[in-house]
Amino acid sequence: MALFGNSFKELLMAEAMLEEEYRHSHDNLSYQNESKQDDDKQDRRCYKPQPLLTSPSALKRKSTASTGDSNSDVPGLRREVVIQLPPKRKRLQGNYSANDIVQALHRAMSPDERMEALENAIDTFDHDDRAKHEHEIAIGADVALVKALVFLEYASGFRREPIRADMDAITKEIGLVLTALECVYRASSESVGESFNRVGKDLLHILVILIDEEVQYRVRAVSSLTNQEDGDASNSNNGDTIATPSGGGPTTDKKPSVTAPSPDYDKASVSIYERDLLLRKATKCLGHFARVGFATKPMAHFPGFLGSTLNLINLRPVSIVPFEARLSCLWIIANLACNTENMTMMSCTPGLLNSLASISCRQAEIGDSLETIMEILRAKSIASRALLNLSWSPENKVLMADSFGLLETLTGLALERRAPYRKSKTMQEIMLQTRRNSIGALRNIAAAPRRSKVSLCEYNNGKLLDTMTDVALNETDEQAVDLAFACIHNLAIHDTAEAMVDRPALVLALKNVLLEDDSNDSNDEAESSKCSRKSNASSTILVLERTITPEMSAYENLRELLDAVNPNSTTPDEDEKDNVITSGAVNPTAV
């Protein structure tokens, strides 16, 4: 033990000698611990380093000369290093309330203040709590954001020097305002309706202008790019020109590339992403308004609204418009078409039915991305829903029955059963809904007056009857089959009976339904569906039986059907009284 103590003392003495020698060889250095007492040097376990000094100033070096310091044995310089983090941007910290955000939006005036308030608003309002969004509307967040839009539209009108508006900065800021506003409108339809009563008219006016300007900007960009490509092709072909249609669009097979350089895009400092963001959020805000029942009529009748929406939908190439904006516009049209006061006016709007038919005819191409394929399928589903809603109006039934192009589109959609990805349940469900919508629209159109029924059955050599027969025999979805039999029932009148009986497959479909097993089904919905099919088939057969007489060439097809359904029947004359009593069931109905 004594040996260990002596060794420890020798170690301390040796360390002290080395330290003293180092101090004399470096006169310009001193240590913060040189003022310690000798007992501190002997017990290193009790040593505690002093913390770093801090100062509000930036990174600096401070040196002081200690000439008469009693705690320092050796004169020299003392150096202290002070570290401070760079100043942060002034922002609201922690959990702050929506009231603070609204007040900040009202107070913000300078560009920096407005941008900071908008960023904080997006951070606060971007959530999925519907109750909080209702509170945000109640305290006036929508009003504050619409006022910001009004100010930006006013500022964009500055055209003279030296206060010419910075349109690039304004475009970016408008995108942020619409982003925050779309977050607020994730509230219930009741709260969104309250906001529509306050700011709806002003906001519609601004959004229609913004959409029109964006469409015109993209048209100019594509036109510049197309002219440049035409010039290059003309030079390479020694003066040969490429023919273009009367509409001015390119007819080349090659799709114009939106990402290719063009004069308009090169001059603008606003990225295409920021412009796409503006379109996506503007159409999404309009979509929130379209959820409100009483807002659908003023929206549909607002000057220029339907025209702006259709211009965006019809803009080509399709890649120049973000697909979310196109789908939102289709969804808006479908919702506006739910209002009976809008149906006739919308169908008479130039280009509306043609636009829906054009969207429904778009097909996926080899090499298309999964995102593009999903956009095409969803667009078809929404467009078919809009056509279904429009077909409810009695006036529209006649108008749509006379449009052979529209009938071609609907019959084509009714038979699209093969998904691009067979194992994708999402695609299969979207396509199933599209088939239901298109068959339902045909069912409604078939409830048109007698002249239109005859025209429908004669269309393209009875293509509508063949399509409904295909659905009745080959469709696996019960609801789609029910709609097909309802369509056949609506078409069945005295003037169309012979055309129906001339199709053995249609007669077979009617017979199969009437001869279905009546076993008790545990599913009430399936049982109700089966009863509906049998009712429509039975009513259709009654019409055929009263119309087709034995001297007609098609009577043999009907005779086989009647014998299979009712083996005890003899001739139509014996059941004449019963037919007269039940004739009321023949009247067509449309749900």
Q: Are residues 422 and 292 in the same domain?
A: no
Answer whether 554's CB lies under 8 Å from 531's CB.
Answer: no
- CA–CA separation, 285 vs 98, rounded Å? 20
Model pLDDT for residues 139-180, shown as the tens digit of each residue: 999 999 999 999 998 888 765 665 656 888 899 999 999 999
Whether residues 591 and 490 share a domain: the answer is yes
Question: Does a structural domain hold residue 259?
Answer: no
Query: Does residue 452 form part of some domain?
Result: no
pLDDT 10s digits, 323-367: 999 999 999 999 999 999 999 999 999 999 999 999 999 998 888
Asked whether the predicted pLDDT for residue 81 surpasses 70, the reply is no
In a domain, 87, yes or no: no
Q: Report which DSSP code applies to 564.
A: H
pLDDT over 90 (residue 69): no
Same domain? For 164 and 30 the reply is no
| 306 and 157 fall within a common domain | yes
The answer to whether 329 and 312 have CB atoms below 8 angstroms apart is yes
Hey, what are 473's tokens? 């025999």
Are residue 473 and residue 546 in the same domain, yes or no?
A: yes
Q: Are residues 76 and 124 in the same domain?
A: no
CA 12, 14, 20, 23 dihedral sign is negative
DSSP letter, residue 575? G
Q: Which one has a higher pLDDT value, 456 or 263? A: 456
Maximum C-alpha span of the chain: 137
Q: What is the per-residue pLDDT across 431-456, written as a single tens digit (0 to 9) for each? A: 999 999 999 999 999 999 999 999 99
Q: Same domain for 188 and 315?
A: yes
Q: What is the DSSP letter of 394?
A: H
Contacts of 367 (CB under 8 A, 6+ apart): none
Q: Are residues 287 and 348 in the same domain?
A: no
Q: How confident is the model at residue 295 (pLDDT cuts 50, 70, 90)?
A: very high
Please name which of 343, 338, 211 lies closest in space to residue 285, comparing C-alpha atoms.
211
Q: What's the CA gap between 195 and 182, in Å, rounded?
A: 12
Q: What is the pLDDT averaged over residues 392-419? A: 95
Q: For all residues of the chain together, what is the average pLDDT?
A: 79
Q: Does the predicted model carry a pTM greater than 0.85?
A: no
CATH code where residue 181 lies: 1.25.10.10
Highest mean pLDDT of the ranges 13-22, 69-78, 208-217, 243-252: 208-217
Closest alpha carbon to 310 in 404, 389, 399, 212: 212
40 within some domain: yes
Residue 384 counted as domain residue: yes
Domain membership flag for residue 303 = yes
Q: Is the pLDDT of residue 460 over 90?
A: yes
- Residue that terminates a domain, selected from 336, 365, 393: 336
Query: Does residue 119 have a pLDDT over 90?
Result: yes
Distance (Å, whole) CA 168 – CA 55: 41
Residues 482 and 419 in one domain: no
pLDDT at 294 exceeding the cut of 90: yes
> Residue 251 domain-assigned?
no
Residue 470 and residue 497: Cα distance in Å, rounded?
Answer: 18
Query: Considering 390, 423, 445, which residue would you say is the last residue of a domain?
Result: 445
User: What range defines the domain where residue 169 resides?
Assistant: 97-226+269-336
Residues 141 and 26 in one domain: no
Asked whether the beta carbons of 306 and 349 are under 8 A apart, the reply is yes
Last residue of a domain, one of 396, 415, 445: 445
Q: How many residues does the chain have?
A: 591
Contact assessment for residue 453 and residue 493, using Cβ atoms and an 8 Å cutoff: yes
- Residue 140 and residue 70 in one domain: no
Token look-up 């805000």 returns 285
Per-residue buried b or exposed e for 269-303, using 16+ beta carbons within 10 Å of the residue's own CB: ebeeebbbbbbbbbbbbbbbbbbbeebbeebbebe
Q: Is 358 exposed, middle or buried (0-12, 13-18, 19+ CB in 10 A)?
A: middle
Structural domain tally of the chain? 4
Same domain (yes/no): 387, 420: yes
Residue 521 in any domain: the answer is yes
- Whether a cis peptide bond, with omega within 30° of 0, leads into 261 is no
